Amino acid sequence: MLDIKFIRENADAVKAAMKNRNADVDVDAVLALDARRREIVSEVEALKAERNKISKSIGMMIKEGKDPEEIKAQVREMGDKITAFDTELREVEADLREKLLYIPNMPSDTTPVGQTEDDNPVIRSWGEKVELGFEPQMHWDLGEKLGLFDLERGAKLSGSGFPLFTGRGAKLERALIQFMLDLHTEEHGYTEVATPFMCNEQTMTGTGQLPKFAEDMYTVPLDGLYLIPTAEVPVTNMYANEILDKDLPILHTAYTPCFRREAGSAGKDTRGLLRVHQFDKVEMVKFTTPETSEEEHEKLTLDAEKVLQKLGLHYRVIELCTGDIGFSASKCYDIELWAPAQDKWLEVSSCSNFKDYQARRANIRYRDENGKTQFVHTINGSGVALPRLVIAIMENYQNEDGSIDLPEAIWPYMGGLKKID
RNA sequence: GGAAAGAUGACUGAGUGGCUGAAGGUGCUGGACUGCUAAUCCGGUGUACUGCUUACGCGGUACCGAGGGUUCGAAUCCCUCUCUUUCCGCCA
């Protein structure tokens, strides 16, 4: 969340930023609550100071054998006032916090201003569109024919959007996960973690999924748990309510399945593996100082790109504009793979710098060189998400006879298999 | 799922109603001293909110797992919850 002091001192800038985001936020209501809160605090604290003073004197009186009853009655009256103020204070603070939790992050100064995804500039691209020389087949046709997945049986088990991978398809999934984890841990310096796949409400609030996006998640009501929509959630919140004294940055990578209800997006690009309710993803998360977060964000994006380069897949990097950027992010690059049969770009990674927004929500701090505690900056990105990566491999590496060559980088992970036919 | 014990600052560990934001020790850190290593001595060492000052700082309030309650006053008494450990049960 945003620092209330920052909002207080930069109200106009916050309002402008919310407008650029197309976010409906009542900044003045927040400021009014903040003003009332501080008013109550100063009144109630003055009363408490007085009470503490008199209470101490009662202790003295009793020791000296004097009768304190008269003063007790007086202090009791103060206590009633204090209770009334405290009650209102709690209400105001809860109200204020709730409102703050619904305010998205400030876009970075460098985030391009724009309305929709059409305003996202392309930052760079790598590789070229493949020349197949024949009419490419869709991945859902290739996959069913080659026995890589069985979407009908997946739907039987859980409903559409819950893919069932089979045989070499299941192995390819596992191989890609392994390949990416090895790359990030062995060459990019990340430490692997394996996390819970369900998290509690506090954790979901820490990274920004709650309270606003409750409907996007699967829940386990009996236990008050939510299925994670991304490994970002457990990995970032690992250090919630901690003061880190390890050397920053801290780099973690994790494989997890991700669960998303995708409410409201039914019917849109949902065929095959394009948009599913459960998918595998390797995630990268960094905890940095404010001074290094921009640089680390750039590096993390390159780490994700490296995956695609090693797999020889044509991609481009776009930067999300203010109207398209995610709720908690301040700056964000999306990486998109070219899919020749789809004839379009598929998003496989989203690399975001959250600055101190998540750290403030999750209360993750560190000690700077002066010994002062500060909020860390958090950064994360997919490195990368599996289903669309699989789609891109299938579509880019397909042959006219319907077989699929495998990228050399994953041969070792496929037991030497070079081609699926 | 049942039973018992416990939860205090970076760590350890005192503290059963006011003199405790919290003893002692460890660690860290500033200094003194011993020609090195080590030791010794002195000092400092929580977080958050808030007001004044805004360079440094000073004051107030809150916080001893979380939330309630009793009381003039709670780390300390009561209730609820969470977690940890151990034992039993169940189980991949």
User: pLDDT tens, A59-85?
Assistant: 888 877 777 788 888 888 888 888 888
The contacts of residue A377 (CB under 8 Å, 6+ apart) are: A287, A288, A289, A290, A292, A293, A296, A353, A354, A355, A356, A359
A76 touches strand B (CB under 7 A): yes
DSSP-assigned letters across all residues of A135-165:
-PPPHHHHHHHHTSB-HHHHHHHH-TT---B
pLDDT tens digits, A205-214: 989 998 899 8
Beta strand pairing call for A331-339 and A242-244: unpaired
Q: What percent of chain A has pLDDT over 70?
A: 98
Higher pLDDT, A120 or A87: A120
CB neighbour burial string for A373-391, b if at least 16 within 10 angstroms, e if fewer: eebbbbbbbbbbbbbbbbb
Gap from A25 CA to B56 C1', Å: 39
Tell me whether residue A298 is exposed, middle or buried, using C-beta atoms within 10 angstroms of its C-beta: 0 to 12, 13 to 18, 19 or more.
Answer: middle
From the list A43, A144, A242, A347, the catalytic residue is A347
A360 touches strand B (CB under 7 A): no
Query: What's the confidence (pLDDT) of residue A267?
Result: 65
From the list A260, A261, A360, A361, the catalytic residue is A260
End-to-end CA distance of chain A: 51
Beta strand pairing call for A364-367 and A242-244: parallel
DSSP secondary structure letter of residue A132: -
Task: Check whether A266 has a pLDDT greater than 80.
Answer: no
DSSP secondary structure letter of residue A269: S
DSSP-assigned letters across all residues of A12-41:
HHHHHHHHHTT----HHHHHHHHHHHHHHH
| Phi, psi dihedrals of residue A302, rounded to the nearest 5° | -65, -35
Task: Check whether A346 has a pLDDT greater than 90.
Answer: yes
pTM over 0.90: yes
Gap from A248 CA to B28 C1', Å: 19
A97/A335 Cα distance (integer angstroms): 34
What pLDDT band is residue A330 in, cutting at 50, 70 and 90? very high
- The token pair that represents A54 in the structure block: 């008199």
Gap from A40 CA to B50 C1', Å: 10
- The token pair that represents A73 in the structure block: 């009655």
A249/A160 Cα distance (integer angstroms): 40
Query: What's the confidence (pLDDT) of residue A246?
Result: 67
What pLDDT band is residue A275 in, cutting at 50, 70 and 90? very high
A237/A359 Cα distance (integer angstroms): 9
pLDDT tens digits, A237-262: 888 887 776 678 899 999 999 999 98
Task: Clarify whether A51 is annotated catalytic.
Answer: no
Please name the residue ranges forming H helices in A221-356. 232-237, 293-310
